[in-house]
A and B are shown apart, each in its own frame.
Chain A
């Protein structure tokens, strides 16, 4: 019985993860839309795609509000990837 309960708990948790992932994807795309809008504004303002000061602020912010269990280094690495992809999106938009 204990094994059955454990298996059913895993199924529930996996369902929950799928829901969270769907929400994450939605949020990441909403974030990407913001980044694209900023990219267009940067182009009009004649600013570079790469703004290291702003990227540092973003990374500092997400680490400051982090409550775990992911440690700050892990949060930093995850958001570095988010930023890398946003920058790529801005570059591709620039080409069009």
Chain B
């Protein structure tokens, strides 16, 4: 190597790499927004293209969003662009921002009144479904860490809970990736099946929302299914799901303690309560703060109808955009190959626990929310 080559600065190469990264990020954001725009267009026009197909009028935006995302995901996979164009596909961030915005459309009084039954439902549901899943996992011979992740995912809030549980029990990354794939595999059909079941069972929107919030694992899928049923169902589903999310920290701490003291028997170990705060889903604070801000704004306005219309820009118009983008991401990120690689036993455990969750959540939602009024 010549002396000139040895001292050549490397900055241009680094700049080119950074530029390329920014380029892919920008392309990813543009693609996501374009797909979101397509969803808006389809939602507004498909029913008018086929006036004789009456059921198309009841197809809500989450259906178009997920379908567009699935098709987009297949196209990106075929073109080999999925990894490079996936930078902006942030389902969790988009759904959580959408939920904070949803908070603005819910009166703080409703959150306060619904908190009681939501907490009772969440505690009974989480502990029962977790223990059922744990027991069934034992009968199927799954190892303890996989059982912990599966049980947390199916009983609390899907991928987020699996991540918290994986940290608590120090599970392998592959185990977490597998459980996350299982969660998506089960969540995707339930987005469509549960609203249909709620309609067949003649549930009112409040009970349907509590059922959806209590049963479906991922927060994104809960909001998609709630949106399909209607706005009232979505509000209750979001409150119930947020309550479950809030209890995730408690379960993570209990799991950490169980593995430290009972499974691994670490001498002199302690489990700090700081882990509770660390695993608390902070966006719930934003959800409550948005509700408080909007409630204060409406209550202190002379014209409460006009104030409500202003709040709806955040609580409805902007929120729907964030939800559309999140649902498109659900479709874009779906990878059936990840499921095929795993065995059938964990799928069976997850399926059994999901059925128990479905039935128990229906019972609790009917008992705790049948007399609940939103107005």
Whether chain B is bound by chain A comes out as no
A residues whose Cβ falls under 8 Å from a Cβ of B: none
Footprint of A on B, CB under 8 Å?
none
